[in-house]
Amino acid sequence: NAGVIQTPRHKVTGKGQEATLWCEPISGHSAVFWYRQTIVQGLEFLTYFRNQAPIDDSGMPKERFSAQMPNQSHSTLKIQSTQPQDSAVYLCASSFSGGASQNTLYFGAGTRLSVL
């Protein structure tokens, strides 16, 4: 089991460019979560899918950010017109189910986005 795979590990974009981040959850896991990590804010929840359906996107910035899960084997986080304040480590996690309080999140190593 390779764990949660995130690609790329590092991405550098110019201000105003688009960035797409990829996540492959652990096979058999039904829930996928996206978090953003910065020194100032710590780990911030962005959005969550269960069985590929969007469940909670309350942490997503209303503009420029979108997430999809077209199939059970991958999810994408897209940031349009990137800004320097979007620079962060973006973490994807999966779990067996998002509905039970005992479930454990398995995180990928993250994608470090740097917006110049």
Partner 1 sequence: GDSVTQTEGPVTLSEGTSLTVNCSYETKQYPTLFWYVQYPGEGPQLLFKVPKANEKGSNRGFEATYNKEATSFHLQKASVQESDSAVYYCSPLASSSFSKLVFGQGTSLSVVP
Binding site for partner 1 (CB under 8 A): 4, 33, 35, 42-43, 45, 48, 50, 55-56, 59, 91, 93, 98-99, 101-110
Query: What is the phi/psi pair of residue 86, to 5°?
Result: -80, -10
Which of 17/30 has CB closer to partner 1?
A: 30
Q: Which residues of 67-97 are buried (b: 16+ CB within 10 A; e: fewer)?
A: bebeeeebbebebeebeeebebbbbbbbbee
In the complex, least distance from residue 10 CB atom to partner 1, rounded to whole angstroms: 11
Q: How far apart are CA 29 and CA 106, in angstroms?
A: 10
Nearer to partner 1, 8 or 99 (CB): 99
Minimum CB separation of residue 9 from partner 1 in Å reads 9
Q: Shortest distance, CB of residue 39 to partner 1, whole angstroms? A: 10
